[in-house]
């Protein structure tokens, strides 16, 4: 994670057609059991989301810098039950 944005082609659970996220701001990578998740923010939104990496069809690193969430604590995020 080089503090750069990503463009991600993602296959959601309920459809075969990929969704393209043009600006993904990675925060952390978390493994839960056998699955690995990207903790991130999308575009100009401030809420933190997770995407399952096994559903990513294609990812491209962009030249634009990724935004950070300065007060974000990955341990607190996990403890809050986000991966239940």
H or E element that contains 76: helix 74-79
d(CA 1, CA 6): 10
Domain regions of the chain by residue span: 4-79
Per-residue pLDDT, averaged over 2-24, amounts to 93
d(CA 79, CA 34): 18
Please give the structure tokens belonging to residue 32.
């839960």
Query: Tens digits of per-residue pLDDT, 26-75?
Result: 999 999 989 999 999 999 999 999 999 999 999 999 999 999 998 999 99
Helix, strand, coil % over all residues of the chain, rounded to 5: 10, 50, 40
């Amino acid at each position: 994670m080089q503090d750069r944005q990503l463009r991600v082609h993602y296959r959601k659970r309920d459809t075969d057609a990929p969704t393209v996220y043009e600006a993904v701001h990675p925060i952390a990578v978390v493994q839960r059991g056998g699955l690995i998740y990207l903790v991130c923010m999308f575009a100009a939104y401030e809420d933190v989301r997770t995407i399952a990496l096994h559903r990513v069809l294609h990812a491209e690193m962009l030249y634009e810098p990724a935004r950070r969430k300065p007060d974000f604590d990955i341990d607190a995020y996990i403890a809050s039950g986000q991966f239940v």
